Amino acid sequence: MSKVNFGNVNDIGGQTVISGIASGFDTKAIIDGLKAAKEIPIKQLEDTISINDKKNKAFHDFKEKVEIFQEAANFLRNVPSMDKTLNSFNGRKVVMTTDCSQPIDNYIDVFADKGSDLANYSLQVISIAKAHARQSQTFTSQTTSVTEAAGGITSGLFSEGIFQINGIDVDLKAGDRLIEIKSAINAVSSSSVVTESIVQVSATDYRLVLRSNNTGIANSINITDASNVVSDVTFSNLQTPADATFNLNGIPITRSSNIISDVIQNVTFTLKQPTDAGKYGYLSINNDVEATKLAIKNFVGAYNDVALFVSKQQELDEDFKYKESAVLGNDSTLRLISSKIMTEMSSYVKGITSSFITIGEVGLAFIEYEGDDENPHTNNILRIDDAILDNVLATQYENVRRVFEFDFRSSSKTIANTGRTNALNTTAFSLDIDTSRAAGDQVRVTYHNGVTNVTINADYDGTTTSGAITGQKNTVLDGLSMIYVGDGTDNVSVTLTQGIADKLYNYLKDISKPGGDIELAIKSINDINTKYAEEVKKKKSDLDDYVEKLKSQFGRVEQMISSFNSTIMFLQAQTNASNNK
């Protein structure tokens, strides 16, 4: 008898399926093959999502390095702020010498804030300021009462009541001991500016000591005692108050404190003891060259970190294909940013005619880096020539400054810079300010375009005597903002240069800010991954439905073949029965 009859027991999709019982087909193999074909585009999408996740992380790492580079540039660019500490070139170092018998710091300490004037001073300390101190008579104990009832007249005892120290009430109670009196006085110390202490001279000698919190004659201790609270207790001077007296460059000066910050702007003197008779301390406030060099080193290091990151992302293997780790190798955003950074780093400063105009002239040179175990071969790595940098910082500090920072020079103090962008496109102009003119014409700007003088307007927002001046879009002053404080009519000449660090900072800020190029690249990757993830989810759902459909279809085939076999067997049986008659 002929019939199809081969069977297999298999697992398909987690279900046990008896396949090919009637047909002899390997149903599992057929379904697995068809399923695998459908899984290929799903796997391709999942692989793309995985690669995009790596790109996403790489861009976040890149953004972090760019922000570090931006911050390093910020310290060299001359931040438009009243806070001079933000500019490394404003750092100051004080050099002190003396012809006295002891080291200079035994007599004087000097601190110069960033931005203080470079200058030399001679300082002779005549006397130092002293705080007023008064001591009481002797008391035999600090734990027994020294305060009698109000109106008492016992010698050596306080009386209950209120007295004043420098006009501030102090309230004593009958029975108060030295400890309670000290507490009562110190409770108002922040207002009276006097502090009380108990000094134990011996086992039977305790004294109250009043000391002014501030030095100087003007801070003497004054006790007012209308109720005779302290009149029966004797107080004597322990230290007479005194002002500090000193000569600065031969000028006699007196101050109530030994810490003096109101004689030279942004400079603080601390007087410790009088200098030897006829002797002086000599002070020189210089540029802090070491701090500036460190800031330049940080700038170079931050740039090199960015350059090495880009190099790793463009690293090729032996077949000249991007390495698996170079996930941003073909990314146009990374290439554009890298190219722009290199352009700014190798550019020259416009407007400077008599000194350095590139970072190469101050000892920063681009080299070809051979690479190491961690970093690939990289072109345009920066290297510092310490000898050149040290020399130019020591001898041409201001010229080095202008290579890096934004330099704004005005013929009048009525104008100051408050901001700028890289859209700025002039290095010299004049302002004709008349706030009484019609809006839009209050500020006229004249500059030379290389052929002739051109006059345009800048925007003005303010009162008749003060306001903000802003360069208009698509003009040479685009991105420049200034503050004006004057009498309403002024003519001001301005020259400016925009150094490498300033232009780099502006560019790096633009690309790393919310909505900047780096964030847009990350968003684009995330949007693509979100779309692909939805596609993967749908394709997997469709695939599950497809597999179920195949199983159903093959089941029906098995049923048809089984029915066909049954028919064959029936007919064969009928034929056999007929032949046996």
Provide the CA 362 distance to its chain's centre, in angstroms. 26
Cβ contact 488:436 at 8 Å:
yes
**466-470/481-485 β-pairing:** antiparallel
Q: How far apart are CA 152 and CA 383, in angstroms?
A: 85
Instruction: Find all residues with CB under 8 Å of 147, minimum gap 6, and list them.
Output: 157, 158, 159, 160, 172, 173, 174, 175, 176, 177, 180, 181
159-217 pLDDT, tens digit each: 999 999 999 999 999 999 999 999 999 999 999 999 999 999 999 999 999 999 999 99
pLDDT at residue number 270: 97
- Residue 25's pLDDT band, with cuts at 50, 70 and 90, is low
Supply the pLDDT for residue 475: 97
**pLDDT, tens only, 386-426:** 999 999 999 999 999 999 999 999 999 999 999 999 999 99
Average pLDDT over residues 240-250: 97
Banded pLDDT at 48 (limits 50, 70, 90):
very high
Q: Say which residue the tokens 């193999």 belong to.
A: 29
Segment among 59-63, 351-355, 407-411, 505-509 with least mean pLDDT? 351-355
Q: Is the pLDDT of residue 151 over 60?
A: yes
pLDDT(449) > 50: yes
CA-CA distance, 194 to 180, in Å (whole number)? 16
Instruction: Report how far residue 121's alpha carbon sits from residue 113's, in angstroms, rounded to the nearest whole number.
Output: 16
pLDDT for the residue numbered 548: 84
Instruction: Give tens-digit pLDDT for 550-577.
Output: 878 877 777 777 777 777 777 887 788 7
In the structure, what pLDDT confidence band is assigned to residue 66 with cuts at 50, 70 and 90? very high
Confidence (pLDDT) at 147 = 97
Q: How confident is the model at residue 5 (pLDDT cuts 50, 70, 90)?
A: very low
**Class of residue 501 by CB neighbours under 10 A (exposed 0-12, middle 13-18, buried 19+):** buried
Assign 82 a pLDDT band (cuts: 50, 70, 90). Answer: low
Handedness of CA 111, 115, 116, 117 (dihedral sign): positive
Q: Closest by alpha carbon to 24, among 570, 571, 573, 564?
A: 564
Q: What percent of the chain has pLDDT over 90?
A: 81
What confidence score (pLDDT) does residue 11 get? Answer: 47
Whole-number average pLDDT of the chain: 92
- What confidence score (pLDDT) does residue 353 get? 84
User: What integer is the mean pLDDT of 528-540?
Assistant: 92
Sign of the alpha-carbon dihedral angle for 435, 436, 437, 440: positive
Token pair recorded at residue 19? 């396949």
User: Cα separations (Å) of 134 from 176, 194, 207, 218, 238?
Assistant: 20, 11, 10, 15, 5
* Average pLDDT of span 2-22: 45
Contact criterion met (CB below 8 Å) for 312 and 375 = yes
Task: Please say if the pLDDT value at position 530 is more than 50.
Answer: yes
pLDDT over 70 at 12, yes or no: no
Residue 520 confidence (pLDDT) above 60: yes
Which residue from 334, 395, 388 is spatially nearest to 358, judged by alpha carbons?
388
Q: In this structure, what token pair is assigned to residue 547? A: 């597999």
Residue 7 has pLDDT above 80, yes or no: no
In this model, does residue 1 exceed pLDDT 50? Answer: no
Q: Binning pLDDT at 50, 70 and 90, where does residue 544 land?
A: confident
